[in-house]
Structure 1
């Protein structure tokens, strides 16, 4: 297995919302988490990727106090998960892989039930429920049984129920699994709004690589219980070879001249293009342009090609059971 581990330190200008040091968990002889470290600033989206069985859900369960770790330390909003679980629970919300809604109740009744569990007064609970129904565009369906809801509506209600207690940190464990592309994008907008408008911290696990690419400020790849890489989407893509700049020329004369400038470039006479290895950085692109300009070779067009998160996942984990791409999910 390729375990490229180049990482970039997480931003340190914000208060840390979630941290873990040496987190470990085993079930019998099976090691699920093998000493992982996390540092997630508040008001950001952190995505955890990994193949099935990598330990993503176990990580969420430990951080949200649902199960105990075998070793290491974890802190949520400054509170030790093992020593002060009640304080942690008072600051978090959890949305699991399957919508935890009661199909026999209406949307409004589900939300009121959550308000009661959070010990909100009757008036405050009803105000909060009305606010969330409006925000999630469920007002018209408020008094309909949830059993009649589509998958997207159920997931929206599930997230709304998580927000009744105004948590500052939310764990979303594969929140859009099974949703159609339109419903998934609606959920993305709701998640973005929570972060940008309210400063909520999101810990996201997902099987959709585009979801992580679209939402996450930082992404970590978990495999066999270990974090094998962490960084922004662009940083992770630059870990993987195969990036290149493709330059097209007007004629074979210019193509030949450019080919002589880049010894390791791949020339395609039919398309009049030159493929030059690149890490996708601005500095590398500028160097290509400066070389062409300095030699007086004029290009017709230029495109930059970088590996995507599919490539990152397959290279770092060495497995074929890659999480779902958006293209695949549209089939």
Structure 2
């Protein structure tokens, strides 16, 4: 019987279990988006996961969403990330970099530039800036000729990720960021080849993934998606048709995996599982609600055909989450106040489970 603790072959990687550490923003990078020694310790502490996917990493300066996040678009970024990947590998782990272009979810105070998006439609809500939350600005709509440049940004960052020692990359196509904005039917009001019909709305995602596969290979490329999600005010019409069409194109590209968030009904997600012939990572409890993923959620989705299960917040306070899940040990609660405060408190200070005699 297959369980969460069976091994799994993901491309050229042999995973010792089916537990994935989901990407989670921690805003602990140094000035200029450089990875730090504390980040190396943080990820190495969690290297017993079958696979680690890092926090979102901007593939370009204009792609930066939040202050304090790391980048992968300069030689200095590559150099800074190498101790992180070395530390994870020294502890026996495997690590993918999540490439996240914020698109309209950004602010000039963060990047020094006006954000861009598929259309001049602002995100809903306030975005983080160096001086605190501010209303999301209206982005500049990309000209048709500019769009391929931003698709290629993922590929350029992917090459740097491999140079930095990552085992692969995950494109962030979820949660209202740039790829998700192109998939959207209200953030994307374009009338050119990148907007309108389903085939046009998936075009940017397909081009970004295709460029990345060409750069680093399909076995080193994954993508995260949130079907029907409404993060930052995005809406999507025709969700089953939209994502079935997208998964069909991604399968042709030989992508290693699709990482789905449970942002729509189970029937639709089960249909997408049937439409996707390769590895499926399932995130059963996305977002910032009161519930976090537990063993029962994982077993449920393994039973529905998922291959790997991603855990987010549970990994923050439990660096030894795999052991706790395996042995039915208590899952420690996370201190939400430390999510984005910076420093090592609430970052490196969570202990492994302390057995008593």
| Same-fold call, TM cutoff 0.5 | no
Larger RCO: 1 or 2 (CA < 8 Å, sep 6+): 1
TM-score (norm 2): 0.35
